[in-house]
Structure 1
Amino acid sequence: MIADHVRDASATAFVFGFFASSWFGWAQEAPPRSWRTLLAVGSVLSLLTAAAGGVLAGRHWSDGTAFDADTSRTFGLVVGVEFGLAVLGAGLLALRRRKDLIPVWVALVVGLHLFPVAALLDYPLIHLVAALVTAVALAAVPVARARAVTVSAVVGLGAGAVLLVAALASLAVALFGY
């Protein structure tokens, strides 16, 4: 589960923390009343983790990294494809009047795009995150229907929780090497 470079682990903590807060935010669209405090705490914790990861990444910016010219180009391509697919799918869902499924689509695309990112960075934790975010996306609709809650609340809480735990783990790797 360990990244080879402090810079990469801390940058991962920043990115996952930032996006965890975004997912917790999306979950706040129309969550059950009992989830609101949990979602707010998750958002704040995610932002604090992102800030710590960002500061640590800045301090280790000149250290080693998995990124080189080839890796950076491939990473950019993977992220570009992810973004394009997310936007295209969201647009099609909106046209079909299925806006409720947009967070599920985005989570599925995010989860799937993390598999090549994990291989590219050689950071096994990201494989686990990829699998869990993909699973959250696939389970969100049936869970939301079974619990009579909005899909955005289910996928937002699930993806946010996975990303927050991964951000905290990456921060621990960056700080303590495990």
Structure 2
Amino acid sequence: MEAWSRRQAGLAALCLGVFATIWFSVPAAESPLRTLLVVASGGALLTALGGAALVLRAGRAGGALPRDRRYLVIVAVEFAAAVLGAALLAALGQAEYVPVLVCAVVGAHFPPLAPVLGDRLLVPLGVAMCLVALAGLVAALVMSTPAALVVGTGAGLLLWAYALLALLRAARAGRVAGR
């Protein structure tokens, strides 16, 4: 793995580790699940710090973010859809479904980012995020389980797992390059 892709792996671990930490804070849960979510949030934050360390060690090779216009358009559309959808749900008195919508939008933005970022594993991550959003919706409608509990926990776990995978991929590539 060259310096740019090691940096990219570090950025993935940093960003997704931070977002996993945020998702773990979404559900209002009772102990012992609350304790597990706090521990997972701490683990995701440590993963993000590992990503930051990798970015710093990789140097400036490749720049911080893709300079591709498609990247900016995808992220802007994602942000607009999440904000407008959340505002609409809140206006309709359905704010409890905001985490479902945001998770689905986040999941839907990963497949178009895969070719832009050169990471085909973003496609299954996006599908999995959309399935978590669907599971949260079904749980809320059928079982009276708060959607935020399912979505926050599921999205947090998926993003944390991907952040860890990014660090492992960089570490493996570093070992191969060191041979």
**TM-score (norm: length of structure 1):** 0.88
Kept in 2: contact 1:5–1:65 (CA 8 A): no
Aligned position for 1:80: 76
**Kindly tell me: are residues 34 and 147 of structure 1, through their superposed partners in 2, closer, same or farther at Cα, counting changes over 3 Å?**
farther
Larger Rg: 2
Amino acid across the alignment from 2:148: S
Kept in 1: contact 2:16–2:163 (CA 8 A): yes
Q: Is 1:8 matched with 2:8?
A: yes
Cα deviation digits, residues 49-73 of structure 1 (max 9, x gap): 001101111221323479654x2x2
Aligned position for 1:36: 34
- What percentage of residue pairs aligned between the two structures are identical? 37
Amino acid across the alignment from 1:63: A
Kept in 2: contact 1:16–1:167 (CA 8 A): yes
1:54 to 33, 52, 55: 52
**Kindly tell me: are residues 121 and 65 of structure 1, through their superposed partners in 2, closer, same or farther at Cα, counting changes over 3 Å?**
farther
Aligned position for 2:89: 93
Equivalent residue runs for 1:1-178 within 5 Å: 5-27=5-27, 30-64=28-62, 69=67, 71=68, 73-177=69-173
Bigger Cα displacement from structure 2, 52-61 vs 142-151 = 142-151
Bigger Cα displacement from structure 2, 145-154 vs 112-121 = 145-154
Could you say what secondary structure the match of 2:25 adopts? helix
Amino acid across the alignment from 1:10: G
Alignment coverage as a number of residue pairs: 171
Kept in 2: contact 1:21–1:43 (CA 8 A): yes
Unmatched 5+ stretches in structure 2: 175-179
Amino acid across the alignment from 1:142: V
Q: Which has the higher contact order (CA 8 A, sep 6+)?
A: 1
**Kindly tell me: are residues 19 and 68 of structure 1, through their superposed partners in 2, closer, same or farther at Cα, counting changes over 3 Å?**
closer
Kept in 2: contact 1:13–1:171 (CA 8 A): yes
Cα distance, 1:122 vs structure 2 = 1.6
Distance 1:79 1:68 in 2: 12
Could you say what secondary structure the match of 1:124 adopts? coil
Could you say what secondary structure the match of 1:5 adopts? helix
Distance 1:128 1:68 in 2: 21
**Kindly tell me: are residues 68 and 132 of structure 1, through their superposed partners in 2, closer, same or farther at Cα, counting changes over 3 Å?**
closer
Amino acid across the alignment from 1:26: V
Unmatched 5+ stretches in structure 1: none
Amino acid across the alignment from 1:150: P
Amino acid across the alignment from 1:157: T
Distance 1:147 1:61 in 2: 49
Aligned position for 2:177: none
